[in-house]
Structure 1
Amino acid sequence: MTQLNVLGGPLDECGQDPVTGFYRDATCTIGPEDLGHHSICAVVTVEFLAHQRSIGNDLSTPRPQYGFSGLRPGDTWCVTARNWLMAHEAGAAAPVRLAATNQAVLGIVPLEVLRGYAVDVPDDTSSLDG
């Protein structure tokens, strides 16, 4: 099944270094096993990482047993819709790559909210109007 981004186009790669995605395929592809809905391609910041740590989601500590080197500011990572929304509500949301964010997230986070954090705004923004 082909999954689309929030702009209605093909889902772009989110990150290879480190390799992200629930399925570790570098995309924010979701499926029935992904209960956390890892659908938002975020460019993590110091504030976002601190917020995630404060809610029990430590993304910066390396976990070699899982092949996870830990994230640093500037890394791109498929984050859960719920945790990103919590960060948004706390004023600590990370920027979002819309072309790499799964369209399925729109049932949880409105496009207008994501658009406010976009770091990959296309030249023709007519597709952003929904």
Structure 2
Amino acid sequence: MTPDPAINVLGGALQPCSTAPMTGFFRDGHCNTCAEDAGSHTVCVTVTAEFLAWSKYVGNDLSTPRPEYRFAGLQPGDGWCLCAGRFLQAADEGCAPQVRLAATHARALAVVPLSVLQEYAAD
């Protein structure tokens, strides 16, 4: 698997999203992506309790620890590389978390308009 160029939605170098917890398709702390990343784990967010509850409700439980995958579960305030489609769905339903634009991969723009990302921008 070869990562796409590490460019963010603002056209600059992709910044780290989180290393505690470790995130990203490549588990390198960045929202890097590649052709094999079918979910497009490209949107760097800071999760909230509201978002985590909503995500669990729609079938993607990110808060429950899964030790078999070395996943401690997310807590409010954690950074995470979220699938672009899931972010757009959360935005459409009014519970999207804040986005760190400098750490959000440009490939997210294939799914989420820049204006929507900017609406939820933390930076």
Task: State the TM-score, normalizing by the size of structure 2.
Answer: 0.95
Q: Percent identical across equivalent pairs?
A: 52
Shift of 1:51: 1.1
- CA RMSD, aligned part only? 0.8
Please, which runs of 5 or more residues in structure 2 have no aligned partner? none
**Correspondence for 2:121:** 118
Shift of 1:2: 2.5
Deviation >4 Å, runs of 4+ = none
Shift of 1:108: 0.8
Q: 2:112 aligns with which of 97, 101, 109?
A: 109
Q: Find the structure with the greater CA-based Rg.
A: 1
**Correspondence for 2:15:** 12
Alignment of 1:87-98 (within 5 A): 87-98=90-101
After TM superposition, the structure 1 stretch with the greater mean CA deviation from structure 2, 68-77 or 46-55, is: 46-55
Secondary structure in 2 aligned to 1:40?
strand
**Correspondence for 1:86:** 89
Equivalent pairs, count: 120
Task: State the TM-score, normalizing by the size of structure 1.
Answer: 0.90
More strand by share: 2
1:38 matched to 2:41? The reply is yes
State the distance in 1 between where 2:63 and 2:70 align.
Answer: 13
Please, which runs of 5 or more residues in structure 1 have no aligned partner? 121-130
Secondary structure in 1 aligned to 2:56?
helix
Letter in 2 for 1:34: D
